[in-house]
Chain A
């Protein structure tokens, strides 16, 4: 399994043609206490950059965009039931949704863990 990162602070675990997508620990720390999450339904077809999920903190609403194109196979109902899971386990149990990749070549433009760490360092 390979983990990729986006400039928009999403992480993507790729296993064959299946991708699991969440927001990074940095992203959840910027959002603060998360009180509401909505994830996409299985079967939803997402184009890269399309609105895929909604995350609301105490202060503000944010959309989560699909970092790659594909067909949703599963949304994580656990974070809809317990939004704080995104705060406590953003890069593990707090994942948002899984999809079947439409175009694996889209992964080429994404960052690896080292490049993402450099991005975060440049933000400080």
Chain B
């Protein structure tokens, strides 16, 4: 497999010109040129972060892989590869799942939704080609995977996201019928769009899958609304860190497993009992014995952030490592996610992080750092 080959030139995504015209600073990410932040008034990671928390931010996440698995054997094929219970996956209810190897190492995290013509799967941009190869090597006859390369993916996130999108989305049922982790087909400015009430910022919001050819006009339409600013990858990262959401390639990878990562809830109850997916035996063992390591939150005094890779100590003993860390604009201090040994994972445990030869005081903190504001089912809108 050559999924780690990075092209020398970052490829342009459908909204490349649109971002540049809006003053985006483009950086290579997952083989693509991506906006890290915008310049000019309202731009900058902290301003964009705060705008998303108080209004609505439009994120271009078109680097992510959009796949459609179809065919009469698609359901069985998916259950053979993911710890998901497709009997309980209703149309319109996308679900978080994990692509696992035989050792329960995490190949990728992803979202699966049932469409009329198959399963719509959204995977991470940096891992999508490896994921596709992984699927294709294991799919039986009667299951076909299609990479929907002609689609763009936008995320509209923040407290004003519903009001803005509701002005433009029409469907068989109103947008208000979508609660967190629900999705449906809508028409958005005359374009067929799959819209789900999902995202990765901790805010209420939506992800919008549309044909690439319509991406710029829909992005322009949404950003012409007074509540919406375009937001770069920088603020996306600080928002998801505050929300305590693990990022693949940082907090999750082939060396981490769902139990240590605190993602045991993504293993469906029936599948946990019956097995039949990669990594079932090691996961059962981890659940029974308790994992040696756990993903935790860390909060710091002071202003110096501990970044990915910083070792963690309890006294002189090294007990873990930061997997993603930075400065929280909402809290005004550094935060991090880390793996620590299970004996030092309880909230309140004091630890120190080593950053360029100095020790920073930290404490294990419950996740999320900033409360989620998802629009849960049954809540009023």
Cβ proximity bits A47-78 to B, threshold 8 Å, 1 near / 0 not = 00000001011111100000000000000000
Cβ-closest chain A residue relative to B47: A33
B198 on interface, CB distance cutoff 8 Å:
no
Knowing A32-B234, A33-B44, A36-B305 touch, does A56 contact B327 (C-beta < 8 A)?
yes
A22 interface residue per 8 A CB criterion: no
Contact digits for B31-49, partner A, Cβ 8 Å, 1 yes 0 no: 0000011010000111101
Contact A33 B305 (CB under 8 A): no
- How far, in whole Å, are A19 and B257 apart by their CA atoms in the complex? 54
**B159 in contact (CB, < 8 A):** no
Q: Out of B44, B303, B307, B356, which one reaches A32, CB within 8 Å?
A: B44
Instruction: State whether the Cβ of A23 lies closer than 8 Å to any Cβ in chain B.
Output: no
Question: Across the interface, do A35 and B234 meet the contact criterion of CB distance under 8 Å?
Answer: no
The CA of A39 and the CA of B93, in the complex, are separated in Å by 53
The answer to the question of B352 belonging to the interface, with a C-beta cut-off of 8 Å to chain A, is no
Q: How far is the CB of A28 from chain B (nearest CB, A)?
A: 11
CB <8 Å contact, B37 and A35: no
- Tell whether, in the assembled complex, residue A33 and residue B356 are in contact, meaning their CB atoms are under 8 Å apart: no
B56-88 residues with Cβ-Cβ distance < 8 A to A are none
A35:B356 contact, CB within 8 angstroms: no
What mask results when residues 217 to 245 of chain B are scored 1 for a CB within 8 Å of chain A, else 0? 00000000000000000100110000000
User: What is the size, in residues, of chain A's interface with B at 8 Å between Cβ atoms?
Assistant: 14
- In the bound complex, residues from chain A placing their C-beta under 8 Å from that of B305 are 35-36, 56, 61
A40 lies within 8 A of chain B by Cβ: no
**Quick one: which of A9-50 are within 8 Å of B by CB?**
29, 32-33, 35-36, 38
Asked if B189 is at the interface of the complex by the 8 Å CB criterion, the answer is no
Looking at chain B, what size class is its interface with the partner chain? 10 to 19
- Determine whether the beta carbon of A83 is less than 8 Å from that of B37: no
The CA of A88 and the CA of B44, in the complex, are separated in Å by 13
Q: How far apart are the CA atoms of A32 and B25 in the complex, in Å?
A: 11
Task: Tell me which residues across on chain A come within 8 A of B163, comparing CB atoms.
Answer: none
Contacts of B47 in A (CB 8 A): 33
Task: Give bound CA distance, A57 to B36, whole Å.
Answer: 13
Asked if A58 and B234 sit within 8 Å, CB to CB, the answer is: yes
Shortest CB-to-CB span from A55 to chain B, Å, is: 11
- What CA separation (Å) do A58 and B331 show in the bound complex? 13
Residue of A nearest to B356 (CB): A54
User: Using Cβ atoms and an 8 Å threshold, which residues of chain B touch A38?
Assistant: 304
Q: How far, in whole Å, are A36 and B360 apart by their CA atoms in the complex?
A: 14
User: A83: which B residues are within 8 A, CB to CB?
Assistant: 303
Q: Is B326 an interface residue (CB 8 A)?
A: yes
Taking CB atoms, residues of chain A closer than 8 Å to B49 are: 58
The reply to whether A58 and B303 form a contact with Cβ atoms under 8 Å apart is no
Q: Is B304 touching A56 in the complex (CB atoms < 8 A)?
A: yes
Report chain A residues within 8 Å CB of B329.
33, 58
**B303 and A33 contact, CB distance less than 8 A:** no
Is A59's CB under 8 angstroms from B326's CB? yes
Expressed in whole angstroms, the minimum distance between the Cβ of A20 and any Cβ of chain B is 24
Contact with A along B285-322 (1 / 0, CB 8 A): 00000000000000000011101000000000000000
* Known interface pairs A58-B327, A59-B326; A35-B44 also in contact (CB < 8 Å): no
**Cα–Cα distance between A58 and B49 once the two chains are bound (Å):** 11
Contact in complex: B304, A32 (CB < 8 Å): no
Shortest beta-carbon distance from B36 to chain A in Å: 8
Q: Are A32 and B45 in contact (CB under 8 A)?
A: yes
Of residues A29, A36, A56, A59, which shows the largest number of chain B Cβ atoms within 10 Å of its Cβ? A59
Question: B45, B47, B237, B329: which has the most chain A beta carbons within 10 Å?
Answer: B45
CA distance A91 to B46 in the complex (A): 22
Closest chain B residue, CB of each to CB of A59: B234
Complex contact B304–A36 (CB within 8 A): yes
Which chain B residue has the least Cβ–Cβ distance from A61? B307
Given contacts A59-B234, A59-B326, contact A36 B303 (CB under 8 A): yes
Are B327 and A32 in contact, CB atoms less than 8 angstroms apart?
no
Judge whether B356 and A59 touch: CB under 8 Å: no
B238 near A58 with CB under 8 A, answer: yes
12 A–B contact pairs at CB < 8 A?
Answer: A29-B39, A33-B47, A35-B305, A35-B327, A36-B304, A56-B327, A58-B45, A58-B234, A58-B327, A59-B45, A59-B237, A61-B356
**Besides A59-B45, A61-B305, 16 other CB < 8 A contacts?**
A32-B44, A32-B234, A33-B44, A33-B47, A35-B303, A36-B305, A38-B304, A56-B303, A56-B327, A57-B45, A58-B45, A58-B49, A58-B234, A59-B326, A60-B307, A61-B307
A residues with a Cβ closer than 8 A to B are: 29, 32-33, 35-36, 38, 54, 56-61, 83
The 7 residue pairs across chains A and B that have the minimum distance between CB atoms? A33-B46, A35-B327, A58-B45, A36-B303, A36-B304, A58-B327, A32-B45
